[in-house]
Amino acid sequence: MRIRRSRSAVRAGAAALAVAGGALLTGLPADAVASAVATGAVAPRAADAAPPATATATPAAPSASAAPKWQRAAAKHGGSGVTLRYAVPDKLAVGETVAVRLQFGGVTAADGAAVEVIDAATRAPLLTLQLQSGEQRTAELSYTGRSDGMQFLTVTTTQAGRVTVQQVPLRVGSGELKLKAEGQRRSTAGGEAVISLPASAPK
């Protein structure tokens, strides 16, 4: 009983302080403030109020398709000296058309350098450029995968009479490398498989 009375006294004292403080802040009579507190018309103090809800921004999901990475084609000793970097998709479907980016540099000859790009399978020309001395250029061309397997673009650069031929690989479908055999496939008496090539006439 003693503890219950003590709590009641504390609550009564707190209510009296609230009424007195409200009267001082609002300038209203104490009995009017007490009535407002009793009916809930007076809002609780800011310190006692629940904190406002804060909105949390959700970071945007990264793009599902990343941009192709640049790769440097192997340089050849005694070649043109023109550097080649390329950016191609990791894989493309048969019939899909993609953008292939080629970057050229290392042009030091006074008369510049020449660039020719062809489709290795069809021998169709895809790009022809003339680079100036000191120029670094990025070119973009469209390529359509016409058949399954590993396909190639043949890039030929010429500078100061020196020529370099490089290949840019493109994985179409399975991306398997398929070698084209010429001649007739035969089997020897011992069961060994050989390819018989036609003899060429002497020149």
CATH T-level assignment (fold) for domain 71-180? Immunoglobulin-like (2.60.40)
User: How does pLDDT run across 163-190, given as a tens digit for each residue?
Assistant: 999 999 999 998 887 665 555 666 666 5
Q: Could you give the angle at which helices 30-39 and 2-26 cross, rounded to 10 degrees?
A: 120
**For the chain, what are the domain ranges?**
2-39, 71-180
Whole-number Å distance between alpha carbons of 107 and 132: 7
Structure confidence at residue 83 as a pLDDT band (50, 70, 90): very high
Residue 120 pLDDT: 94
Give the residue-averaged pLDDT of 70-91: 94
| Assigned token pair, 24 | 């001082």
